[in-house]
Structure 1
C-alpha cells in the first residue's frame, strides 16, 4: 500500500500507539514552534516509529505517536526537553488533555492510488 503524506509509515504490528487528545487554549504562545521541535526530537528517539496529528478550528486535536516498545515510550516521557514542554502544556497551552497508550495488533487500510 502507498503511504500518503501525513500518514505515519509504521511497520507490521505489534507496536504501541500513544494517543494524545487535547483541547488547546486560545493563542499560540510559542506552541507551534515547540510542537515542531518536539516532533523533531521524538523522531531522533530510539523506538519512535512515526506520528499522525490533526487539530480542528475549535482547538480540539488528536496526535497519535507510534513506538516500538513501552520502554521507548517511557524514555520519551522522561526526556528532559519533553518534560519542559509538558510543563508548558499544563500551564499554558491546554485547557484539557488525555493520554492513552494502546498496543497495535492489527492494521489495514486502502488507497485509491
Structure 2
C-alpha cells in the first residue's frame, strides 16, 4: 500500500473490487446524512472492506466508491439487513436517480509520481 493524501482510500495492490455509486438527490434528504454516516461505519466493520472515497458537487450529484478485497465480501455487504434498509429508503425517499456499478480493479496508478 502506498501513502495517499487525506480523502483517498488506503488501497492495496490489485486485484480488488470497486463498487461505484452515483446519485442525484430527490426532493427530501431528511435522515440521509445520519444514515450515510451509519452505513460508512457499518461497511468499515465488514470483512473484506478496504475503504471508501466520496464526493458531491454543487448540483448535488454524488459519487461514492467503496473498495472490497473480493467479490464474496461485497456480496456479503449487499446482504447486511441494515444496508438493505438503507437501500430501500434511498429508493423510496432520497434519490431522484442512481446508478451502481461493480468493477474488478486490475491496475492502479498514483500520482504525480505514478505517471
Structure 1 length normalisation: TM-score? 0.94
**Which residue of 2 is the match for residue 64 of structure 1?**
65
Structure 1: 5+ residue runs without aligned partners?
none
Residues 3, 10 of structure 2: 8 Å contact kept: no
**Which residue of 2 is the match for residue 93 of structure 1?**
94
Q: Which runs of 4+ in 1 moved over 3 A?
A: none
Deviations 1:41-98 (A, max 9, x none): 0000000000010011211111000001111111100100000100100000000001
**Which residue of 1 is the match for residue 32 of structure 2?**
31
**Which residue of 1 is the match for residue 52 of structure 2?**
51
1:27: how far off? 4.1
**Could you say what secondary structure the match of 1:87 adopts?**
helix
**Alignment pair present for 1:84 and 2:91:** no
Residues 47, 68 of structure 1: 8 Å contact kept: yes
Residues 19, 103 of structure 2: 8 Å contact kept: yes
Q: What is the Cα-based RMSD across aligned positions, in Å?
A: 1.3
CA distance in 1, matches of 2:10, 2:93: 31
Residues 28, 93 of structure 2: 8 Å contact kept: no
**Which residue of 2 is the match for residue 13 of structure 1?**
14
Structure 2 length normalisation: TM-score? 0.92
